[in-house]
């Protein structure tokens, strides 16, 4: 097993989230908003979608060296090996049995003609694609969906046996909606995976690589940008924000000067300069980056670090303002009067009372960071060009929009997956914000 830098940080973050949820469940003032989230149909459905994306991202974060090719691959690469081994010559449309551009081919009569060549893998089992393709697609889609239904029911049966009937009887409408969403996601995904054995369900790109495989691989990049950037940002925002609001004086002046100065620097220029510095370092120390995957992973890590350094100022301002208010509250004044040390006050009284702002900001910022990766990759200062990402897919597809006929499926696939992830994140963020809003709590 090979652990990349981003792999280790991802699993550390997963562990931290699990520990944080466990600790929050023990606090009475956190139980109410968490229970409110579980009662929201929109929140639970969006959470299921986010967890499905996270599951694919975690599969793509477990790397090891393939014994046959000696390449570093992930568990997702292992399960999607048929997609990686079935590359075509160039573009082909979704569910097509022919290339997207005409070539000189030799017909059955032995004469050359200008026509669309048959694909090497997509629809190769069809003798007459014009008549057989769509009935075959519908038949295989029904078969794949049926197998997905059986798999979903089997998982539900296992869940029932483990959790017991008591938990099942306490199911709320939101929980039932979440289970129905999970049931549909499993069935539809299994159907697409089943169809991908015979067709390129989302077509192929310029070099004949399956676009469905590219979109699945891009999920990890989007999640890494959204989550690891947050991991880099939180210590700076929480530490400086609380210190500025609590100590005030010269400490507050210095911290305000730092984030005001940082905000005055154009973020794109700072990111571009930092990425160029990383590229120069890797070029001068090539012996430390012997694999293309390691080089791409290091650039992705530094991009998360740079985005984290440039995006902590907004949360820092909010925490400073909230700490200024909490500092004058009676329980904090009483603790100071009783001789409680300032570090203890910060940890026991200030930090727990600003965590709702931190939680809301983290969930809201996630979607903007996912979109930031697409924009930065579009202008070539984002992730490495060899890294699968929605931004790279959009950047590679933008020139193909001028073709006649238009190659639309790469751009559409990246847009669809990114739209689904960001929409689910925004809906879940709204649910979290409503649950942790104290004004809503006062009004029941």
Integer Cα distance of 315 and 214 in angstroms? 34
Q: Is residue 161 part of a domain?
A: yes
242 and 356 co-located in one domain: yes
- CB contact set of 36 (below 8 Å; sequence gap of 6+): 434, 435
User: Which is more confidently placed, 275 or 193?
Assistant: 193
Largest Cα–Cα separation, the chain:
99
Domain boundary among the residues 154, 175, 197 is at 197
- How many domains in the chain? 2
265 and 367 co-located in one domain: yes
- CB contact set of 11 (below 8 Å; sequence gap of 6+): 61
276 and 183 co-located in one domain: no
250 and 377 co-located in one domain: yes
pLDDT tens digits, one per residue of 92-149:
989 998 888 888 877 677 777 888 888 889 888 888 888 889 999 999 999 999 999 9
Q: Is residue 98 part of a domain?
A: no
162 and 185 co-located in one domain: yes
The confidence score (pLDDT) of residue 155 equals 84
Helix (H) or strand (E) holding 72: strand 72-74
Closest CA to 316 of 409, 235, 377: 235
The neighbouring-strand residues paired with 106 are 112
The confidence score (pLDDT) of residue 166 equals 53
The confidence score (pLDDT) of residue 440 equals 56
> To which residue do tokens 């390129």 refer?
200
Torsion over CA of 372, 378, 380 and 384, rounded to 10 degrees? 70
Domain hosting residue 288, numbered range: 211-420
The confidence score (pLDDT) of residue 4 equals 83
163 and 234 co-located in one domain: no
Domain boundary among the residues 146, 165, 197 is at 197
228 and 138 co-located in one domain: no
Torsion over CA of 102, 104, 106 and 108, rounded to 10 degrees? 30
- CB contact set of 290 (below 8 Å; sequence gap of 6+): none
216 and 177 co-located in one domain: no
The confidence score (pLDDT) of residue 39 equals 85
Question: What does the DSSP 8-state code read for residue 401?
Answer: G
Q: How far is CA 374 from CA 127, 149, 322, 383, in A?
A: 41, 34, 33, 9
The confidence score (pLDDT) of residue 439 equals 55
Q: Is residue 311 part of a domain?
A: yes
Given phi > 0 = left and psi -120 to 50 = alpha, else beta, which region is 154? Answer: alpha
Lowest mean pLDDT among 68-82, 190-204, 325-339, 396-410: 396-410
The confidence score (pLDDT) of residue 65 equals 85
Q: Is residue 85 part of a domain?
A: no
240 and 173 co-located in one domain: no
Q: Is residue 154 part of a domain?
A: yes
DSSP string, 246-278: HH-HHHHHHHHHHHHHHHHS-HHHHHHHHHHHH
pLDDT tens digits, one per residue of 418-443:
899 988 988 888 888 788 765 555 44
> To which residue do tokens 């075509």 refer?
88
Q: Is residue 356 part of a domain?
A: yes
Q: What is the mean pLDDT of the chain?
A: 84
Q: How far is CA 377 from CA 170, 388, 391, in A?
A: 46, 11, 5
Q: Is residue 109 part of a domain?
A: no
pLDDT tens digits, one per residue of 4-39:
888 888 888 888 888 888 887 787 777 778 888 888
CATH number at residue 350: 1.10.3720.10
- CB contact set of 345 (below 8 Å; sequence gap of 6+): 246, 332, 335, 336
302 and 367 co-located in one domain: yes
Residue 224 burial (10 A CB sphere; 0-12, 13-18, 19+): buried
Cis omega (within 30 of 0) for bond into 405 = yes
Helices (H), 328-389: 330-337, 342-345, 351-378
Mean pLDDT value across residues 241-252: 89
180 and 235 co-located in one domain: no
Helix orientation angle between 249-264 and 211-247, rounded to the nearest 10 degrees: 150
Kindly tell me if the per-residue pLDDT of 164 is higher than 80.
Answer: no
Closest CA to 55 of 223, 296, 255, 291: 223
Helix (H) or strand (E) holding 103: strand 103-106
The confidence score (pLDDT) of residue 171 equals 56
Closest CA to 88 of 200, 212, 193: 200
Domain boundary among the residues 144, 166, 197 is at 197
Residue 4 burial (10 A CB sphere; 0-12, 13-18, 19+): buried
Mean pLDDT value across residues 284-290: 77
Are 350 and 332 spatial neighbours (Cβ–Cβ below 8 Å)?
A: yes
226 and 150 co-located in one domain: no
Reported pTM: 0.86
Helix (H) or strand (E) holding 113: strand 112-115
The confidence score (pLDDT) of residue 385 equals 81
Structure confidence at residue 64 as a pLDDT band (50, 70, 90) = confident
Q: Is residue 416 part of a domain?
A: yes
């Amino acid at each position: 097993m090979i652990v990349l830098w981003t792999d280790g940080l991802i699993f550390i973050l997963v562990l931290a989230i699990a520990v944080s949820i466990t600790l929050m469940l023990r606090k009475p003032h956190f139980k109410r908003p968490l229970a409110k989230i579980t009662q929201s149909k929109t929140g639970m459905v969006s959470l299921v979608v986010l967890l499905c994306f996270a599951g694919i991202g975690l599969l793509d974060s477990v790397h090891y060296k393939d014994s046959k090719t000696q390449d570093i691959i992930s568990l997702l690469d292992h399960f999607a090996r048929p997609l990686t081994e079935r590359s075509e010559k160039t573009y082909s449309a979704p569910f097509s049995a022919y290339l997207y551009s005409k070539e000189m081919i030799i017909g059955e009569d032995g004469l050359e003609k200008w026509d669309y060549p048959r694909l090497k893998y997509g629809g190769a089992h069809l003798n007459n694609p014009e008549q057989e393709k769509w009935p075959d697609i519908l038949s295989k889609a029904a078969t794949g969906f049926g197998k997905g239904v059986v798999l979903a029911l089997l998982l539900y049966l296992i869940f029932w046996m483990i959790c017991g009937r008591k938990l099942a009887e306490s199911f709320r409408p939101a929980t039932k909606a979440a289970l129905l969403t999970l049931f549909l996601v499993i069935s539809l995904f299994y159907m697409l995976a089943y169809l991908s054995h015979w067709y390129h369900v989302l077509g192929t790109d310029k070099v004949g690589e399956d676009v469905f495989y590219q979109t699945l691989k891009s999920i990890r990049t989007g999640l890494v940008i959204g989550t690891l950037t947050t991991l880099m940002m939180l210590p700076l925002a929480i530490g400086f924000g609380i210190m500025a609001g609590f100590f005030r004086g010269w400490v507050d002046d210095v911290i305000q000067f730092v984030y005001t100065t940082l905000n005055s620097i154009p973020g794109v220029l700072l990111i571009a300069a930092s990425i160029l510095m990383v590229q120069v370092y890797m070029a001068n120390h090539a012996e430390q980056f012997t694999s293309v995957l390691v080089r791409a992973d290091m650039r992705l890590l530094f991009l998360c670090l740079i985005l984290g350094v440039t995006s902590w100022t907004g949360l820092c301002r909010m925490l400073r303002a909230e700490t200024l208010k909490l500092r004058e509250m009676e329980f904090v004044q009483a603790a100071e009067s009783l001789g409680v040390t300032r570090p203890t006050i910060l940890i026991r009284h200030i930090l727990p009372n600003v965590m709702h702002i931190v939680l809301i900001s983290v969930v809201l910022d996630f979607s903007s960071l996912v979109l930031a990766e697409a924009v930065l990759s579009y202008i070539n200062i984002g992730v490495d060009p060899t890294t699968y990402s929605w931004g790279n897919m959009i950047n590679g597809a933008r020139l193909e929009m001028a073709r006649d006929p238009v190659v639309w499926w790469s751009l559409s696939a990246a847009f669809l997956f990114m739209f689904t992830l960001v929409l689910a994140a925004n809906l879940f963020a709204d649910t979290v914000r409503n649950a942790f809003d104290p004004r809503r709590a006062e009004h029941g």
